[in-house]
Amino acid sequence: MPVKKIAGSERSSQVRPDSEWSERLHYFEARQEEIVETIREFVAIESPSDSKLAADRMGALLAARFESLGGRAHVHRAEEFGDSVQIDFPGREKIKPVLLLGHFDTVYPLGTLATMPCQVTGGRLYGPGVLDMKSGIALMLYAIEALQSWHAGVPRPVTVFLVSDEEVGSYSSRKITEALARESAAVLVLEPAGPRGAVKTARKGVGQYSLSVKGVAAHAGLDPGKGHSAIVELARQITAVSRMNDLRRGLSVNPGVIRGGTRTNVIAAEASVEIDVRIKYAKQAATLDRKFRALKPFDKYCQLMIQGGVNRLPMERTKDVVALYRKARAIASHIDWKLEEAAVGGGSDGNFTAGIGIPTLDGLGGVGEGAHAVHEHILISELPRRALLLAGMIESA
């Protein structure tokens, strides 16, 4: 169904009457089942972060799908992880592009579809990666396709960047993400929506530390006094680390995985803990790091080794982020949708782009629950207005 053009600035969402926004919504509603089938096609190709072959298969499909809309695909080769895919749409206006950012890797191992099939039940689409975030990639496709239909071509330059290793730290793709963001007017992240479909205007920074202890082994029965237990030392260190928590200020430290010892009758020579950290403000990263580096052994015969740090700085709710949210809220208001905002504890690649000062709005993807869980799903009925919101944001960002 074609949508009428309105005289005046094509990039301003404010000049369009509510009746045209209703027509635009109907455009996506008429394609709802088509969007669902596209998402199912994506979910059917399992693409765990740790399988380069599988991820590259998914990346090749996505490159072809976006190229079918007239985009120019560029594959960024990676050795350990799948290749990331960039697709450029030149647009008619000679302005900075908007960057649509997402990932196609999932946390589920190959073979998960056998026990967790992609299926529709009760208005929900279930499947591994359906929410996080293959539905978001489908929304990119249909928003671009719609803009081409409405404007006889994409009205402004658009760059799509889909990474293959977001779920494991984005080590092969981070520099590319940041470089593309620096060339862009704004970044729209198609990660899952927040509670009640909210977009995300703040995310905590994320990091990980590894604290290892080297002690002195001895026979637990014959020579207990000659040993210096790495496990006992580690227990004391974990207690000290736990005191770094400051939940009131949004800082959390969680010792999550412990390893150590060899046998019950041996005083442990080695032990270690992996620690997840979350910060609300960028300035907390340096302070927290100093505290970790300042840890000293309680037992002078034990040695400590500390590695790691904050990988993703927080996405803070800056005035530029708020400006993007206000544009999104204005677009939503045209169809009587009160679009909320949310601050969340998890990180995304949007942390990288916000961290270097590029206006970023996250959580524009599918609405649902159960990311990384067996009940992962999206609400099918929400797809049309999510696509409408993204199309409007591409025009106005």
Identify the CATH number of the domain defined by range 205-310.
Answer: 3.30.70.360
Do 205-310 and 13-204+314-396 have the same topology in CATH? no
Closest of 23, 21, 29 to residue 2, by C-alpha: 23
pLDDT digits (tens, 9 = 90+) for 293-304: 999 999 999 999
Tell me the pairing of strands 186-189 and 360-361.
Answer: parallel
Q: Name the burial class of residue 258, with classes exposed (0-12), middle (13-18) and buried (19+) by CB atoms within 10 angstroms of its CB.
A: middle
CA–CA separation, 86 vs 306, rounded Å?
36
pLDDT of residue 8: 34
Contact between 387 and 142 under an 8 Å Cβ cutoff? The reply is: yes
C-alpha 59, offset from chain centre? 17
Task: Pick out the chain residues at pLDDT < 50.
Answer: 1-14
| Domain residue ranges in the chain | 13-204+314-396, 205-310
- Cα separation values, 116 from 300, 307, 374, Å: 51, 37, 7
Tell me the pairing of strands 158-163 and 84-89.
Answer: antiparallel
Fold of 13-204+314-396: Aminopeptidase (3.40.630)
E-strand stretches of 10-80? 72-76
pLDDT of residue 15: 54
- Cα separation values, 60 from 46, 64, 114, Å: 13, 6, 23
Closest of 311, 385, 295, 396 to residue 355, by C-alpha: 311
